[in-house]
C-alpha cells in the first residue's frame, strides 16, 4: 500500500495507479480548501498561480496522467462542444464571455489548435453565451480539483434561493450540476437557463484561488438563527482494492463504523454512477459490483456528518 500525506497548501499530485496496489490519501483536518478559477482568470494569458501559467493550467486540465490529450466535452451527442488539449490557447481567447444563456448550436464541434468556433456565437473574439463559458470554466475547474465532483451544492455556497435546488434536490452535488448543465447545453432543458448559469458561476467564483466549503451549522450553545459558517469535515482514509478493478471493488471503511454514511461514485466526466446511504454502518468492508460501470478513472466519496474520505480507482475490462 502507498500512502501520501497532503501538505497544508494546495498541490498538484500525479497519481500513478499500478495493478494490484491500493492507494490512500490522508489529509490534515481543517486544510481541505477547494480550488477553482474564474472565467476571467482562464481568459488572462498572463496569469500565474502556484508556479503555473494560465496556458499550463488549461493544458494540464486537458491532459491525462501521461500528458496525452484528454478533452472535455459539453452537451450531448448531436449538440456538443469538445475542447482538446491543443485548443488551450482558444480557451484563453474565448473567455471571459457573456450574453444570454442558451443551448449549444446544433452539431458536434471538435475544437483543436486552429480555434475553429463553428457556429458558436463569437463577438470580438469572445463567446457570447454565458452558460457555455461558465460551463467551460467549471469543467476545467473539476479537472483542476476533482474533489469538486462530490461536493454538495449547499457546501459549494450556492444560495438556497437558486432554482437549481428544485431541479436537482437538496442533496445534489456539483457533479449532478455538471450533468444537468450538459443536458441544458444539449437542448434537453427548456425555459430560461439563467438560474443554471448563476449556480455554475457561484461555484467558479466562490472557490477562486482556494476557499473553504460552506455549511449551515448551529453555533456552539444553540441559537444563531441558522447563521452561515464555514465548515470543513475532517478527512480520514479508506482503502480500495483491487485497483485497477474489473468486476468489483472492496472498500475498507472501518473508520466510519457506527456512523450514517453516504457513498457516491462518479466517473471521470463527473456523472454519478452509484449512490448508497447506510444508517449506522456496522461492518468495516463494503463490496461494490462494477458490471454497469464505464471504463477508466472513477472517484469514490464517502461522507458522514463528521468526516469524509475520497479515493480514485480505475475500471478496466
Domain ranges of the chain: 2-32+236-315, 39-206
Give the pLDDT of residue 279.
Answer: 94
Average pLDDT, the chain: 82
Distance CA 110, CA 117 (A): 9
Strands 2-5 and 248-252 turn out to be unpaired
Q: What residue has cell string 457533479? A: 175
User: How remote is the C-alpha of 5 from its chain's centroid?
Assistant: 22
Residue 31: CB atoms within 10 A of its CB come to 14
Write the pLDDT tens digit of every residue in 263-295. 988 876 667 789 999 999 999 999 999 988 988
* Between residues 198 and 218, the one the model is more confident about: 198
* pTM for the whole structure: 0.62
Which fold would CATH assign to domain 2-32+236-315?
Answer: Immunoglobulin-like (2.60.40)
Write the pLDDT tens digit of every residue in 186-217. 999 999 999 999 999 999 998 987 888 886 33
Give burial (CB, 10 Å; 0-12/13-18/19+) of 137.
Answer: buried
Give the pLDDT of residue 63.
Answer: 93
Give the pLDDT of residue 267.
Answer: 77
Residue 153: CB atoms within 10 A of its CB come to 25
Amino acid at each position: 500500500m502507498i500512502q501520501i500525506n497532503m501538505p497544508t497548501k494546495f498541490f498538484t499530485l500525479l497519481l500513478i495507479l499500478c495493478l494490484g496496489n491500493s492507494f490512500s490519501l490522508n489529509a490534515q483536518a481543517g486544510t481541505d480548501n477547494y480550488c477553482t478559477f474564474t472565467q476571467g482568470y482562464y481568459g488572462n494569458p498572463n496569469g500565474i498561480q502556484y508556479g503555473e501559467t494560465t496556458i499550463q493550467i488549461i493544458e494540464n486540465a486537458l491532459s491525462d496522467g501521461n500528458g496525452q490529450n484528454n478533452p472535455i466535452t459539453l452537451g450531448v451527442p448531436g449538440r456538443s462542444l469538445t475542447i482538446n488539449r491543443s485548443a488551450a490557447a482558444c480557451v484563453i481567447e474565448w473567455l471571459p464571455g457573456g450574453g444570454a444563456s442558451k443551448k449549444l448550436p446544433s452539431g458536434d464541434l471538435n475544437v483543436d489548435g486552429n480555434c475553429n468556433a463553428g457556429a458558436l456565437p463569437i463577438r470580438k473574439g469572445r463567446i457570447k453565451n454565458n452558460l457555455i463559458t461558465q460551463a467551460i470554466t467549471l469543467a476545467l475547474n473539476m479537472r483542476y480539483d476533482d474533489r469538486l465532483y462530490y461536493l454538495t451544492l449547499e457546501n459549494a455556497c450556492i444560495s438556497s434561493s437558486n432554482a437549481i435546488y428544485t431541479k436537482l434536490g437538496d442533496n445534489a452535488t456539483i457533479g449532478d450540476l455538471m450533468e444537468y448543465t450538459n443536458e441544458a447545453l444539449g437542448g434537453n432543458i427548456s425555459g430560461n437557463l439563467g438560474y443554471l448559469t448563476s449556480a455554475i458561476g457561484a461555484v467558479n467564483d466562490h472557490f477562486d484561488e482556494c476557499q473553504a466549503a460552506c455549511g449551515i451549522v448551529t453555533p456552539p450553545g444553540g441559537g444563531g438563527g441558522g447563521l452561515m459558517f464555514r465548515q470543513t469535515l475532517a478527512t480520514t482514509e479508506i482503502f480500495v482494492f483491487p485497483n485497477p478493478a474489473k468486476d468489483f471493488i472492496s472498500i475498507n471503511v472501518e473508520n466510519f463504523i457506527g456512523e450514517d454514511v453516504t457513498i457516491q461514485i462518479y466517473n471521470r466526466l463527473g456523472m454519478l454512477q452509484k449512490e448508497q446511504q447506510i444508517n449506522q454502518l456496522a461492518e468495516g468492508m463494503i463490496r461494490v459490483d462494477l458490471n454497469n460501470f464505464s471504463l477508466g478513472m472513477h472517484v469514490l466519496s464517502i461522507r458522514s456528518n463528521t468526516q469524509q474520505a475520497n479515493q480514485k480507482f480505475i475500471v478496466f475490462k
